[in-house]
Amino acid sequence: MLREEVNNALTVLKNGGVILYPTDTVWGLGCDATNELAVAKVNEIKGRSADKSLIILLDNENKLQSYVNEIPEVAYELIEYAENPMTIVFSNAKNLAKNMINADGTIGIRVVKHEFCEQLLQRFRKPIVSTSANLSGQPTPKFFDEISEDIKAAVDYVVDFEQENRTPKKPSTIIKLGPSGQFEFIRK
């Protein structure tokens, strides 16, 4: 079941499509974070402005250097000791679709600890966009059955894994990390 769903999602991502998938936080819309057209499609599905930031998921902190020029040492400690999902906003993003990188050059990255996401990211070998599966301005759905039918119909693939899961999850903590290691909480 899991392997089949990873394979199905992988095919869609490789073809520039958008998936609706479970994460370590809430259900997300995802695509290849290096594909500008796919990223634009995620924004279109959500009905959100392209200047609002999206985040990417990685399966391993060793991949950070592929997408960020300078990684303050404290980043590795924050990732290692975080008890809950945490997104870190880094300066000087690189090797991503232009419409993924914020105007100030930053990118939000979460090293994900979730069976489906880890397997998908390991097989895809590129970062995946993760944004909550709701229309812009609407509440974030806590469970799969709260996701709008419009969203489900607009994506290229709906992952059939953890759809029945009723364990309460919430969006990640977001920390903005400066080049010299200073950080501030954006969302706790």
pLDDT tens column, 54-73: 999 999 999 999 999 989 99
Spell out the domain ranges in the chain: 2-187
pLDDT tens column, 27-61: 999 999 999 999 999 999 999 887 888 999 999 99
When the candidates are 3.90.870.10, 3.20.20.70, 1.20.120.420, 1.10.357.10, the CATH number that belongs to 2-187 is 3.90.870.10
Residue 96 has pLDDT above 90, yes or no: yes
Q: Which residues contact 113 (CB under 8 A, 6 or more apart)?
A: 24, 85
- Residue 7 sits at φ, ψ, to 5 deg, of -60, -45
Q: What pLDDT does 79 receive?
A: 92
pLDDT tens column, 119-174: 999 999 999 999 999 999 999 998 999 999 999 999 999 999 999 999 888 889 99
Q: Two tokens at 108?
A: 């939000």
Q: What pLDDT does 156 receive?
A: 98
